[in-house]
Structure 1
Amino acid sequence: MSSNTSDKPMIRIRKGNLQDLPEMLLLFQNTITAICQRDYNTAQLEAWKSGAENKERWLNVMKEQYILIAESENKIVGFCTLAQGNYIDLLFVHKDYQHQGIASQLYKLIEKEALDQNQKVLTADVSKTAKSFFETMDFRLIQEQIVNVKGIDLINYKMEKRL
């Protein structure tokens, strides 16, 4: 699972494992800080990033979810996780690798996995920042939601796609 264009480093996609967790957590936090700042204020970004501190949740992600990792030059540049075969829990791309098709590559492989598991619908709770990407992937908006994280309200969107 690789792709390459002439001037960009090669992106390799592979299944994730527990050894990826420290780098995934760093990418999660750094991407929120750098990419989501136009859609969320500082308090919201800090509350969202604090999710990286929930070690039990992340260990459950690593143990129970289907995880794909995008790598370039032995560095994680993106990841996507699928929970219960039909819920996209996490989809993050490194701030320096945005708009290079990495999220699309990860998503298409996650959708293939859902189809392989005979799923009929994919769902996701997506940030304001990610909403347009999911719309491009033919997800439709179900509802706007307010999620409270550590006393801070964040808006996200319940979205779904029929497969």
Structure 2
Amino acid sequence: MKTRTFSLRRARHEDASSIITAHRRSIREICSQDYTPEQIEAWAGRNFQEDRWHKTMDRDFVWVVTDAEGIVRGFGHLQTPDLVQAEIAGLYLAPEVVGQGAGHQLVQLMIEECRKQGLQRIRLLATLTAKRFYQSCGFQTSADRSSIEMGGVKIDCLPMELTL
């Protein structure tokens, strides 16, 4: 594991552009090992919008990972739509913070939030790239591989869940 050079905090509206940049970098530079160039471009080339992130931050739980200079290098997005379960809607890290424990700490923050709310389980759709990471956090595959469509291109993913 690399030396820790990151911090975690709740996202603020002014982080939206940096979240989008970190998200795209994670897809293009990390997920590209498990997906085709066509899939990566459909996925990372979507029309991410800052105002949608503002609404997401107001409605859901979003944390950012910042490096030693305060630059946003990743994020975790947790949705709690009902009283039973939550969903990790996204957890993406730029290469600069991968392997430093930032992902595990983001998952721990999400688990703590779910426990505070008395939720029973957390679900997610894992990228092929992130499957082993989520397994190391205690998540188990809950169904066969599925896919979601982005820009007319199927992106393979794995439904996973963690019982709290």
When the two structures are superposed, what TM-score results if normalisation uses the length of structure 2? 0.88
CA distance in 2, matches of 1:130, 1:45: 15
Specify whether residues 14 and 54 from structure 1 end up closer, same or farther in structure 2 by C-alpha distance, changes over 3 A only.
closer
Question: What corresponds to 1:126 in structure 2?
Answer: 126
Question: What corresponds to 2:73 in structure 1?
Answer: 77
Q: Matches of residues 14-163 of structure 1 in structure 2 within 5 Å? A: 14-54=9-49, 57-72=52-67, 73-84=69-80, 86-143=86-143, 144-163=145-164
Give 1:101 deviation, angstroms: 0.6
Report SS of the residue matched to 2:45: helix
Give 1:162 deviation, angstroms: 0.2
Give 1:51 deviation, angstroms: 3.3
Partners of 1:28 and 1:52 within 8 A in 2: no
- RMSD of aligned residue pairs (Cα, Å): 1.9
CA distance in 2, matches of 1:56, 1:18: 9
Give 1:94 deviation, angstroms: 1.2
Partners of 1:124 and 1:159 within 8 A in 2: yes
Unaligned runs of at least 5 residues, structure 1:
none
CA distance in 1, matches of 2:4, 2:47: 28
Specify whether residues 150 and 35 from structure 1 end up closer, same or farther in structure 2 by C-alpha distance, changes over 3 A only.
same
**Mean Cα displacement is larger for which, 102-111 or 44-53?**
44-53
Specify whether residues 76 and 56 from structure 1 end up closer, same or farther in structure 2 by C-alpha distance, changes over 3 A only.
closer
Specify whether residues 140 and 118 from structure 1 end up closer, same or farther in structure 2 by C-alpha distance, changes over 3 A only.
same
**Across the two proteins, how many residue pairs are aligned to each other?**
158
Counting aligned pairs with the same residue, the percent is 23
Partners of 2:78 and 2:87 within 8 A in 1: yes
Unaligned runs of at least 5 residues, structure 2:
none
Give 1:17 deviation, angstroms: 1.3
Report SS of the residue matched to 1:129: coil
CA distance in 1, matches of 2:107, 2:16: 19
